[in-house]
Amino acid sequence: MSVTEEFRAARDRLLELREDYTRARAEFTWPEFSEFNFGFDWFDHVAKDPQRHDQPALIIAELDGSSTQRTWAQLSRRSTQIARWLSDQGVKRGDSIAIMLGNQVELWESMLAGIKLGAVLVPCTTQLTPTDLRDRIERGHIQWVITNESEIPKFESVPGTYTLIQIGGQPAPGILDYAQGAHAEAEFSLDSPTRADETLLRYFTSGTTSKAKLVEHTHTSYPVGHLSTMFWIGLEPGDVHLNVASPGWAKHAWSNFFTPWIAEATVFIYNY
């Protein structure tokens, strides 16, 4: 049985037991992987399913009534393209990428691309100040930053050997233009399978009572661990799921990225 089939079997078992907590506790068995990549081994496989291929994986609605949609197939292809482009720019497996974006398509594209690339993702809220960023760049060992044109000035006083990747506008010399990713080939693969225990995410905690701490997650602790979240919130294939968590916080990954897509549901965002 492939890792995709094993993951699907575990997911489907929880769907079967979604209204019977006692049986779910007694009968559910966590899949244990030595290798797993959520982008390649799950998302891309779902995107090839005729039932999902042209269905929306992501809908972002705006206050003015407009909306942006991406299908499973579109995000599958685009994330592979961005992974290829990032690799062509020098991003290597294990490199740390800070992703400081709002609720915009590029957030989901770059997250999926980073997973496929084997990079370590460090999601950051756009509320961060230059002082916050200096701390995160240093302690997070950040080598690449993906952010919007409006956030670029914050980095003028932030030292480090990182490279900025700008979304929107005309980047200054030395800053990479994310839009150039549209010209990359939509073909990318790793030289060896992603180990289940490889680091995938590093989140800085809120730092409410003391200095923010780094919390590490692997390629299975979130993608596999949030089978439990799918069970608790009752998501099923074909559902549309709205969650109001803001980008940069761990809850955003739980309920606006991994959990809906584990369930083969649509992520719905309302930018209010």
Q: List, for residues 69-116, the tens digit of each pLDDT value.
A: 999 999 999 999 999 999 999 999 999 999 999 999 999 999 999 999
Spatial distance between the Cα atoms of 68 and 61, rounded to a whole number of angstroms = 7
| DSSP tag of 66 | -
The CATH number of domain 31-271, selected from 3.10.450.50, 3.40.50.1010, 3.40.50.12780, 3.40.50.2300: 3.40.50.12780
Share of the chain above pLDDT 70, in %: 100
DSSP letters spanning 188-246: ---SSPPBTTSEEEEEE---SSSS--EEEEETTTTTTTTHHHHHHHT--TT-EEE--PP
The domain limits of the chain are: 31-271
Interval 237-262 mean pLDDT: 95
Over 90: is that where the pLDDT of 172 sits? yes
In the structure encoding, which two tokens stand for residue 173, read together? 């010399």
Task: Cite the DSSP H helix spans in the chain.
Answer: 3-16, 21-27, 44-48, 72-89, 105-117, 130-139, 227-233, 250-253, 259-262
Say if pTM beats, i.e. exceeds, 0.85: yes
Three-state secondary-structure class, residue 170: coil
Q: List, for residues 24-73, the tens digit of each pLDDT value.
A: 999 999 999 999 999 999 999 999 999 999 999 999 999 999 999 999 99
| Nearest residue to 17 via CA among 30, 6, 29, 28 | 28
| DSSP tag of 65 | S
Spatial distance between the Cα atoms of 179 and 118, rounded to a whole number of angstroms = 21
| Nearest residue to 3 via CA among 218, 189, 223, 216 | 223
| Nearest residue to 145 via CA among 134, 227, 257 | 134
Interval 136-153 mean pLDDT: 97
Spatial distance between the Cα atoms of 259 and 235, rounded to a whole number of angstroms = 8
Share of the chain above pLDDT 90, in %: 96
CB environment 125-141: b (16+ within 10 A), e (fewer): beebeeebbbbbbeebb
Three-state secondary-structure class, residue 167: strand
Q: Residue 208: what pLDDT?
A: 73
Angle between helices 72-89 and 105-117 (to 10 degrees): 60
* Radius of gyration from C-alpha coordinates of the chain: 18
Spatial distance between the Cα atoms of 25 and 249, rounded to a whole number of angstroms = 29
Please, are residues 99 and 249 in contact by the beta-carbon 8 Å criterion? no
